[in-house]
Amino acid sequence: MTIVIEAFEQAARITADALAAAKPMVRGGVRLLEIAERLERLICERGARPAFPVNICVGSIAAHYSPLPDDPRTLPDRGLVKIDVGAHVDGYPADAAITVDISGDYGWLIDEAETYLEALIANLRPGVAIKRLIKQTYEEAKPLRSRLIVNLCGHQLQRFKLHSGKSIPVVPPRFHREVIREGEVFAVEVFTTTTRGAGEAVAEALVTIYSHTGRIPGGQLGEISRQLLARFNMLPFSPRWLDPSEVGLLSQLHKKRVLTAYPVLREGRNEPVAQAEHTVVIERGGARVLTRF
């Protein structure tokens, strides 16, 4: 267990360093591709690997936008920018995110996301039922000036698995019997939008991130499938990380259920979104944050 926690801790330190490096990069006119590649390179230079492609989500885009090969998009002069970064060491991942308000118009949305995140973390402890944890946090946080995005939630982290086992929702769930246990590691995250928003993320047609399901088909696709599984295991990857010949097979691999596709998610009424996220480990006295910087 000590070796496992040390791997999580190392991945978390590198993730935090990448986020600290990202913050001054966020300014109008900078290419998203430049930011993503610099942060992914930093992770590799520090002796880890990206646990998933760097996500850079602007305005009402909540999650799953990572620049594609030769992506021309640049950051706007105004708006909210979410930077979501993850590193892994020997398969043990960390996951954290910050939001930068380029324009200064929506700092309060960031504050509410960060405040709610800290309340969730403060209430995390061994033996607490997740349903009770969320109910307590939700009651303590009232009244909110923002609207929580209810279908995006925190998730347990395990080796080569970003979303594994237990989840940590942001609003009280109707059915949830799981309990927090000592030694577990979670990425705890909160998304907020304005009260004009739907409070729900919806999928767009665009896909910029994939992961392997573990399925190996026959024929030529089987060989490609084995190569992708060997390179990324079941962690998410970007088409940027592939050869052009492999990129051309992504849709076929998805149809064969070899790959899971992660569509870009936006706020249901196109309202701006803020995100706050930390990786924590559950210890006897509560949750210890691993990704502060």
Active site (catalytic) residues: 84, 95, 155, 163, 189, 277
Taking the C-alpha atoms of residue 92 and residue 156, their distance in angstroms, rounded to an integer, is 12
Asked if 278 contacts 290 with a C-beta cutoff of 8 angstroms, the reply is: yes
Rounded alpha-carbon distances, angstroms, from residue 13 to 48, 137, 203: 10, 27, 31
What separation, in Å, do the N-terminal and C-terminal C-alpha atoms of the chain show? 25
What tokens does 55 get? 């996500």
DSSP structure string for 208-265: EEEEE-S---SHHHHHHHHHHHHHHTTS-B-GGGS-HHHHTTHHHHHHTTSEEEEEEE
CB 263 within 8 A of CB 64: yes
Distance of CA 205 to the CA centre of its chain: 19
| Residue reference for tokens 């970003």 | 162
Which residues of 115-242 form beta strands (DSSP E)? 147-148, 154-156, 167-168, 185-193, 201-212
Sign of CA dihedral 213, 216, 219, 225: positive
Q: Look up tokens 């990704």; give the residue.
A: 291
Distance separating alpha carbons of residues 228 and 177, to the nearest angstrom: 36
